[in-house]
Amino acid sequence: MTCSDRVVVAPSLLSADFGNLAQSAREAEAGGAEYLHFDVMDGSFVPNITFGMPVVRTLRPLSKLFFDVHLMIVQPAKYIQAFAEAGADGLTVHVEASPHLDRTLSVIRAHGMKAGVALNPGTSSEFLEYVLDKVDLVLIMTVNPGFGGQSFLPLMIPKIERVRALIEKANHPIHIEVDGGIDSTTAPHVVSAGATALVAGTSVYGYPNGVAEGIRILRESYSAER
């Protein structure tokens, strides 16, 4: 996970065909995506249940993409080793679910994964200041987590800008990832604000002309911002 001039596209399996996730993973890779995003939900931290380690483990041999795993669950620290063994490349935990955030991030890195911190729309970016030395990715939720297909929250644009200013102080690259309502309309705004990784669900897996075309249209929308 390195920050470069190229914005990372991370198709979200939450919007894929659950009956054919293997094909969905292949389509994302063939379409030029860099990441494959796994939204892991437990029905407790968020009001929905999705998938967990078995899906990551099953898809791992089928894809060379960076497996970007977002834990929307309570007690995420309990599952770090299991997701590492399943094949996750990066593990993102929520500030709101991680009372010992510094330690949790250290353990994620100790298991050979990149460490991410997620912020809900109502959570301040100030929490990041004290853990930047252990963070590889900041995930800014641009919708309230729990369901796909929600509308983008414009008030998150200033938050992206604040996080960008904050991570300039870090001595290592940190991606700013955004998740929620990302499409060809919203992508230029978040990239201009500082986002370097885009989680795209419906706009990629729901694109009428296929996943590859959805990724292409998304990239073209923000290309002028780079």
- Whether residue 136 lies in the annotated active site: no
Residue 48 tokens read as 């929905």
Does the annotation mark 39 as catalytic?
A: yes
User: What pLDDT, on a 0 to 100 scale, did the predictor assign at position 1?
Assistant: 37
**Catalytic choice (17, 39, 102, 136):** 39
Verdict on whether the full-model pTM lies above 0.85? yes
What DSSP string describes 176-207?
EEEESS-STTTHHHHHHHT--EEEESHHHHT-
Active-site residue, from 42, 89, 136, 179: 179
Walk along the chain (226 residues) in steps of 10 and give the mean pLDDT of each run: 71 96 97 97 94 98 98 97 98 95 98 98 93 96 81 95 92 94 96 97 94 96 76
The pLDDT value recorded for residue 224 is 66
Ordered structural domains, the chain, with CATH: 8-225 (3.20.20.70)
Query: What pLDDT is stored for residue 225 in this prediction?
Result: 57
> In 3D, which of 59, 117, 114 has the Cα closest to residue 84?
114
What is the model's pLDDT at position 2?
39
Token code pair at residue 185 = 């309309």
